[in-house]
Amino acid sequence: MKSKAISYPYVAWMALFVIAPIVMITIYAFSTPDGNFTWANFATMTQFAAAFGRSFLLAAIATVICLLIGYPLAYFLARERGWLHRMATMLIMLPMWMNFLLRTYSWTFLLERHGLINRLFGLLGLGPFQMIDTQGAIVLGMVYNFLPYMVLPIFSVIDKIDPKVIEAAQDLGGNASVVFRRVTFPLSFPGVLSGITMVFIPSVSTFAISGLLGGGKTLLLGNLIDMQFLGNAYNPHLGSAISLVMMVIVMVCMAVMNRFGDGEQQGVTL
């Protein structure tokens, strides 16, 4: 009985700050301002189909870029030791010690028309280029802010791979490419799935990055929801419907990735 009592504060916390908000969002999504049941909020969402597609597309691009950069970096960190390992780890973690909005806002000074990057291009006789207030700037902000969430899960998995497994594969005649393709990558796949999830979900729902680096010209789901609750187009019922649909889509994506990861793990075990 005492062991169960320890979990009561956690259950109360989850009920108050997780379950209760989801229930409220669901009620608002299926109701009118008068409290009547309706499907109209979901029907109204069809006019924002472009924002849905754009959000998932940019989030997918940012996730792929983070994976292409993060996996080699995580592999390097897991294989290196000494001062180089510590220095690389510190450089990855250092931006996370700063405020999210502050480090995102700093990119506006780098990317603006008369910013540092365009000045460097000017020294080479190039530019100035329009980098701020573009979709490319939004993807850059996503990659910059969420790259550590791709690196760390992959690193933790690769670092735990028993070196004897790699040695056994090499003793059986596998070269570096075969060992990576048949042993290292399959064993690190759970970390890859965790990294994809941890990058894709905040990317698809972000509104601060698109607001600061997109200049309000690129409407994403996060901005759309923010407008319904805090903007001039105040409509919490429509905002709740959008939030509910996005949450369901994200949960389906997570379920598919977890299912795929289970199948991959079974294949590796066999």
pLDDT (mean) for 241-248:
91
pLDDT in tens, 68-90: 999 999 998 888 877 777 888 88
Q: For the chain, give the percent of residues with pLDDT over 90.
A: 40
Give the pLDDT of residue 1: 54
Mean pLDDT of all residues belonging to the chain: 87
Decide if pLDDT at 265 tops 60: no
Q: How does residue 262 score in pLDDT terms, banded at 50, 70 and 90? A: low
pLDDT (mean) for 95-99:
83
pLDDT in tens, 199-219: 999 999 898 999 899 987 888
Decide if pLDDT at 268 tops 50: no
**CA dist., res. 207 & res. 221, Å (int):** 8
**CA dist., res. 218 & res. 35, Å (int):** 33
pLDDT (mean) for 165-183:
86
pLDDT in tens, 113-151: 888 899 998 888 887 888 999 999 999 999 999 999 999
